Amino acid sequence: MSTDEYRRGRAVERERQGKQRPVRGRYRGVLPIIYAIGLVIFTVVSLYIGPEPAFAVYLVTHVFYAGLVRADINSLRGQGIEWGLSRHLWFGAAFALPFVAPAYYLYSRRVIRRENESRELVA
């Protein structure tokens, strides 16, 4: 028996699979656009209409943020990135807190870059 039969782990699986494709966030690029549009709509509604409709805009945009974050995390998980339980925290925070969507955008960039470097796809 060769020693390769006893080796286990992610690195061995990557070697067996052959050439890896780079990891990309499927919905990550849309997130800043939706965030900017939501911020503009929220500002206009709160200035000209009032706080009650502005709160409705806040809720609707955060449902979109949470949905995009969840879809992006699921697409990254499908490409081999492990999130653990933090994926639930990102989803819940994106639904409730105002600045989580830009924070997720920056954090996911770092995670994607780190994974692509570990796959030796980025020089």
For 32, the token pair is: 């800043």
Q: Specify whether the CB–CB gap between 113 and 122 falls below 8 A.
A: yes
17 part of a folded domain? no
Q: Is residue 74 assigned to a domain?
A: yes
Q: Is 100 within a domain?
A: yes
Query: What's the token pair of residue 58?
Result: 């806040």
pLDDT at 8: 59
On whether residue 40 sits in a domain, the answer given is: yes
Asked whether residue 5 is domain-assigned, the answer is no
Please count the structural domains in the chain. Answer: 1
CB 45 within 8 A of CB 54: yes
What's the confidence (pLDDT) of residue 106? 92
Residue 83's domain spans which residues? 28-117
User: Is residue 9 assigned to a domain?
Assistant: no
pLDDT of residue 3: 53
| pLDDT of res. 88 | 87
Q: What's the count of helices (H) and strands (E) in the chain, helices before strands?
A: 5, 0
pTM, two decimals, is: 0.75
Is residue 81 a contact partner of residue 23, using CB atoms and an 8 Å limit? Answer: yes
Number of Cβ within 10 Å of residue 71's Cβ equals 15
- At 1 the pLDDT is 47
Mean pLDDT per 10-residue section of the chain, whose length is 123 residues: 56 60 84 90 92 90 89 88 84 87 91 85 55
- For residue 75, tell me if it sits in a domain: yes
Kindly state whether residue 104 falls inside one of the protein's structural domains: yes
